[in-house]
Copies of this chain bind each other. A is one copy, B any other.
Amino acid sequence: MSGTSADGVDVALLEVETLAGPERQFAWEMVDFISVPYGDAVRAEILVVQESGDHVLERITRLHFVLGNLFADAVERLATDAGHDLSSIDLVASHGQTVCHFPRLHSAESDAGMLTGSEAWGSRDEDGSWVSPATLQIGEPAVIAERTGISVMSNFRSRDVAAGGTGAPLVPRIDHLLYADPAANRVALNIGGIANLTSLPAGVALEDVTAFDTGPGNMILDGLVHRLTEGKQRYDEGGAQARRGTSDEAIVEELMADPFFSRTPPKAAGRGEFGADFVERLHNLGNAKELSQASLLATAVSLTTRAVRDAVDRFLDVAPTELIVSGGGAHNVALLESLAARFPEARVVTSDYYGLDVDAKEAAAFALLAHLSLEGLAGNIPRVTGARHPVILGDLTPGGTGEYSR
């Protein structure tokens, strides 16, 4: 317990015994109690974030609950769409919206490598603020539980980050379950905002799976479209525009010098690496300003698939004979064509080929990760995230309203 005065942590040790009988009454006894004051710096930091300008903390907190409601809306719509009563659903797995992801101590030092032990528990930065590896997915699960009456598994990434991992990617656990094959060398490639691959050479064991973010997925493409159309369009549907353009390989070459691409996995990227700043960089490179919109998009497509090819050549022992593409990028024909050209020795298919809608794959994967957690099974792969060991992912929020006694 730490109260409104933010002066420290009160810790009580209780022995609780559930008594015989159907009412589940209990006896208890306090064994010990200590009070651990916060240091002045922590106390100051709490006050700083509470009183920060523009009501940022209030907006985040309210958005956390608003998103919980939007997620509940979405669950209700799915149930209606599927003709299932909400009461027939046992569990909601909610990934939440990532708004902050710094799995290493210093976001600026992306080459700092993995932190272990007490070093990772947090320390003071030069500007006086507290730092620790950290990640934040918002969308309050209690709101989903309250609205739907269904128990919710959420907050999948934190435990892996707490165990020294990057908290991502987590889907490789499920890729192994879906696609690992005794004979085929497969790569599962998900192209969302960021692209990530899971390498599944023939007969690979779960512990030996390699997976990491290869670099940008749709993030740069969408950023370019948004920028070039001044926000009128959000993406290049089906890759139609990019297919009409010609990529500028000099620009691709220059962007591939970004240190992210040569970093040894495990590694994860986000808006920090390939957001607006990167789009700005691309736009100012070489003769980018003289390129047509179509050719700029073709260049971004080429960068995306070049990053995948480079990653395969640099970091995988076995080249794939099959690429299974999922995510929004699987709708982009320009991306698929460019991939096929870069992997002439492999078959490029989308996850639909294996019966899994390319858009649904990631949501389905988190539902299955939640199932693993419910079963008490580990959901991360230490080789993939850099965590010190496998962990059970997520927090479980009960859906029931409960009674006062049984």
Contacts and interface: CB of A to CB of B under 8 A. Distances in A.
A74 B98 CA distance: 29
Contact of A54 (B52, B62, B328, B394): B52
A194 B4 contact: yes
Interface string A25-51: 010101111111010001001101110
A218 to B, nearest CB: 6
A50 B271 contact: yes
Interface residues of A, number: 142
A122 B53 CA distance: 22
A368 B28 contact: yes
Interface string A55-69: 111111111111111
Interface in A67-97: 67-71, 73-75, 77-79, 81-82, 84, 89, 95-97
Copies of this protein in the complex: 2
Contacts of A202: none
Select the residue from A161, A362, A363 with max chain B CB neighbours within 10 A.
Answer: A363
A36 B400 contact: no
A57 B58 contact: no
A271 B7 CA distance: 14
A192 interface: yes
B70 A59 contact: no
Interface centre among A54, A71, A73, A133 (most CB of B within 10 A): A54
18 contacts: A12-B363, A30-B356, A33-B78, A36-B70, A49-B56, A49-B99, A53-B56, A58-B100, A60-B100, A61-B100, A65-B161, A69-B132, A375-B406, A378-B401, A392-B398, A392-B401, A394-B397, A396-B397
